[in-house]
Every structure is written in C-alpha cells, then in structure tokens.
Amino acid sequence: MKAILLGTAAGGGFPQWNCACPTCSDPGLLPRTQDGLAISADGNDWYLVNASPDIRAQILATKELRAGPGPRETPIKGVFLTDAELDHTLGLMMLREGAGLEVHAPPAVLQALRDDFAVRPMVSKYGAWTWSTLGADQYLAGLRVKVLAISNKRPKYVTSATGDPWVVAYRFEDPATGGVLVYAPCLASWPDGFDEFVDGAAYVVLDGTFHDGGEMSDKADATDKAQSVMGHLPIEASLERIRKLSAAQPGTAWAYTHLNNTNPALDKATSQYAGIRAAGVKVPPDGTVLAL
C-alpha cells in the first residue's frame, strides 16, 4: 500500500489569503495546501480521501496521479469522504472533467451533497458518477477499509440533511503487506473505540488543526473551548493520548495534518513544534509519501 499526503493544511490553506497573522506573514514558513490523501493498493489505481479546492494543483504536483497513458486516462478511480465540509468536497467540482468517479461517504454527507450543496446532481451531468455508503468493514480497491464514526458536527451550510454520523475516520489495511494506515483529519474529541481503531496501525494521521484550547481566543465569538466546538480536538489534548498509546504500541508512527493558519506548530522554531517532535509525533509537509 502506498499513500501520499496531498495537502496538510486546514480550510483556506497556509498562508490563508485573508490573514495577516504572524504565521501567515512569515515568508520563511512552508506553504501548505488544504488537506487530503491519495491511497493505492497497487500503485496504479488511486483513491482520494477528500477532495479539497486545491485538488487540481495537488494532482499536477503528484506524478502518481497525473493523466495517462492514454490521452484521457487517469489513475484516479474514486474518492472517500470523511465529512461534508467545503474544504473536503469542493474539489469534486474540479474533478467533473473526468469520465466519472465512485464516491464513498456517510449517508448524511451524501444527502447534504444532494440537497444542501448540490454537487451530486451537478457533476453527474458530466459523467458516470456513483455514490455509496460504506459498511463498518469491507474490502474495496484491493484494501480492507474500516470506518469509524467520530463526530456529529455538521457543516454550517447544511439546513435539510439529517442523521449521523457527519464525520468518520478511515482505516486502510493492505492484505498483501499487512500495512495499516488510519486517517482522521477531523476529531472533535477522542471518541469511544478510537484506541482499538488505531491498534496495530503502522501510521496514524490525526487532526492537528489547533495546538491548544485558547488559540483563537482573540476572536469575538471564541471561548477557551472554541476549538472543540468547531470539531477539532487541540493537539495538546491528543498528545496525551498518543503518549500513552505509543508506550503500548511503539511500532506506530503518528502525524498531524489539517493545520490551521493560526497554529504555532507551523513554525519549526516554536516551542509548540518542539513539544510535538519530542513526543515522537511528526508534522509532515505536503507531498509526503508513505509505503506501508
């Protein structure tokens, strides 16, 4: 199994176009596109996990995803959606030029993309798109795919869609190599069953949106718990769980993605970044390749 971190920033990317905060204003910091993953069992057929507004640039920057060998062929076969947020679904519109893709998502997400943000009827006019839900555990695309419901936070634009869950995590297992990757870019909390979900994983990619609970306290509508209310468990909280699990399963590599532009860990010179690395957790850049 091979996976590529196409993007590692939160919605808006980094730097964010409308922000002049210290991190966004620092020309020495590494730019990041909005988070997303590409995964393949054989290195030929690829599936995206989320499709950000940056998907075109991400595909063109990733040789494994570029079109070919035929003039209208593409190795991208489908998309797994973790949620219905705009920074994870707007890229579907950019993929309409293809012949069609298979999209897998929770039922509430599929309903929202039909009734609230009408992506499904729009892109279906351009090709043979299919839309389906996944069971908790099934084989697909040469991988065993497990799904865990982790949050019921719905996007702001949703008015008609109902049900839950709204956010899921994915566990991809390669039967041939035994490699396991867990991808959970949005965690409102450390949910029940998550310890078992990551057990035995070679690599776990987690929500790293905010570093601490007061990071956005300068905003008029923010509180000390603003990050969790927004659907993102702060790094300082998840690090405690990672330390405990790392002691029990030292073979697992941990990494953060979906970093918000306010996150001081974007700067390697900060104490926050140093603390993450001291805990043995990575903050990988866009384009990181994982072979599992």
108-120 pLDDT, tens digit each: 999 999 999 999 9
Q: What is the pLDDT of residue 221?
A: 44
Mean pLDDT value of segment 93-109:
94
For the chain, the structural domain boundaries read 2-291
| Chain CA centroid to CA 85, Å | 11
Mean pLDDT value of segment 236-248:
94
Instruction: Indicate if the pLDDT at residue 218 is higher than 80.
Output: no
What is the C-alpha to C-alpha distance for residues 154 and 270, in angstroms, rounded to an integer? 33
What is the C-alpha to C-alpha distance for residues 35 and 11, in angstroms, rounded to an integer? 8
Mean pLDDT value of segment 136-145:
92
CATH match for 2-291 among 3.40.50.2300, 3.30.390.10, 3.60.15.10, 2.60.40.1220:
3.60.15.10
Instruction: Indicate if the pLDDT at residue 224 is higher than 50.
Output: no
What is the C-alpha to C-alpha distance for residues 84 and 229, in angstroms, rounded to an integer? 17
Structure confidence by residue, pLDDT tens digits, 63-97: 999 999 998 899 999 999 999 999 999 999 999 99
Cα distances (Å, whole numbers) of residue 201 to 5, 146, 181, 198, 249 = 17, 12, 6, 5, 9
What is the C-alpha to C-alpha distance for residues 174 and 143, in angstroms, rounded to an integer? 5
**Type of residue numbered 91:** G
Contacts of 162 (CB under 8 A, 6+ apart): 108, 111
Residue 87 sits at φ, ψ, to 5 deg, of -70, -5
Instruction: Indicate if the pLDDT at residue 170 is higher than 50.
Output: yes
The SS3 call for residue 210 is: coil
What is the C-alpha to C-alpha distance for residues 35 and 87, in angstroms, rounded to an integer? 8
Single out the residue of 1, 33, 3, 4 nearest to residue 16, CA to CA.
Answer: 33
What is the C-alpha to C-alpha distance for residues 170 and 136, in angstroms, rounded to an integer? 10
pTM, 2 dp: 0.94
DSSP classification of residue 119: H
Beta bridge partners of 4: 38, 289
What is the C-alpha to C-alpha distance for residues 147 and 172, in angstroms, rounded to an integer? 9
* Residue 162: pLDDT band with limits 50, 70, 90: confident
Mean pLDDT of the chain: 93
Structure tokens, 99: 């012949």
Single out the residue of 245, 240, 236, 244 nearest to residue 272, CA to CA.
Answer: 236
DSSP classification of residue 243: H
Beta bridge partners of 5: 37
Mean pLDDT value of segment 228-251:
88
Instruction: Indicate if the pLDDT at residue 225 is higher than 70.
Output: no
Mean pLDDT value of segment 190-211:
96
What is the C-alpha to C-alpha distance for residues 123 and 93, in angstroms, rounded to an integer? 7
Beta bridge partners of 204: 182, 254
Contacts of 70 (CB under 8 A, 6+ apart): none
